[in-house]
């Protein structure tokens, strides 16, 4: 259970990127009052938690409905996470874990950013949605392991909320360079995890047996 929780925590930390989100949040709420920033942070994390919770609990039905095998999910999920990891290592913006320049421009025109772009796609982005489905499906049939994944998700949501509420202080302490260092280290770990998912998916598919 501890191993599953550790892997899930590492995966969610890298796909959500609380420190990156905090930096973006600080920029988008520079003209907001402290009370407004707290309100945006709480509502954004709550909405994102509901979205990711629904994906976690309905992942099996989605896979069955589209006829997707576990091997295919592991392989595809691994490839997606690997692409994200590469962007993180080179500190490049990725549409899977950050907003695009067009989305940032639209967000600046909104008075309430708690739903868009904070809840989605910043917190509950495509990468995190895919990761939560993959981790829950990987633990299918084992209630303890699935509970560990959900607990890891809840823990990361609380950490993300803390990061948002402390966005100004975090940005001042770490700076852009510090945030990029954390991103690069996380990207290396995510790349290794992604490759392992791909290896497991290929092995489970039975393709190697025919070679």
Residue pLDDT, tens place only, 40-91: 999 999 999 999 999 999 887 887 888 888 888 888 888 888 888 888 888 7
Half-sphere exposure of residue 128, counting CA atoms within 13 Å on the CB side?
30
What contacts 190, CB < 8 A, 6 or more positions away? 10, 11, 14, 15, 81, 82, 84, 85, 88
Task: Read off the pTM.
Answer: 0.81
Residue 103's pLDDT is what?
A: 58
Instruction: Report which secondary-structure segment, H or E, holds 32.
Output: none
- The list of the chain residues with pLDDT below 70 reads 93-111, 208-211
Residue 5's pLDDT is what?
A: 93
């Amino acid at each position: 259970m501890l191993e599953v929780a550790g892997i899930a925590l590492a995966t969610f930390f890298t796909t959500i990127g609380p420190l990156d989100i905090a930096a973006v949040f600080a920029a988008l709420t520079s003209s907001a009052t402290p009370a407004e920033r707290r309100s945006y942070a709480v509502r954004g994390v709550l909405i994102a938690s509901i979205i990711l919770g629904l994906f976690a609990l309905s992942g099996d039905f989605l896979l069955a409905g589209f006829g997707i095998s576990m091997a295919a999910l592991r392989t595809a999920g691994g490839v997606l996470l690997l692409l994200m990891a590469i962007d993180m290592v080179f500190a490049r913006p990725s549409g899977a874990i950050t907003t695009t320049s067009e989305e940032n421009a639209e967000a600046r025109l909104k008075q309430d950013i708690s739903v868009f772009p904070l809840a989605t796609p910043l917190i509950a982005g495509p990468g995190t949605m895919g990761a939560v489905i993959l981790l829950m499906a990987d633990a299918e049939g084992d209630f303890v392991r699935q509970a560990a994944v959900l607990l890891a998700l809840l823990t990361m949501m609380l950490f993300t909320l803390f990061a948002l509420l402390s966005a100004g202080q975090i940005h001042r302490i770490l700076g852009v360079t510090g945030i990029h260092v954390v991103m690069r280290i996380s990207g290396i770990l995510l790349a290794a995890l992604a490759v392992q998912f791909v290896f497991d998916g290929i092995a489970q598919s039975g393709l190697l047996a025919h070679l």
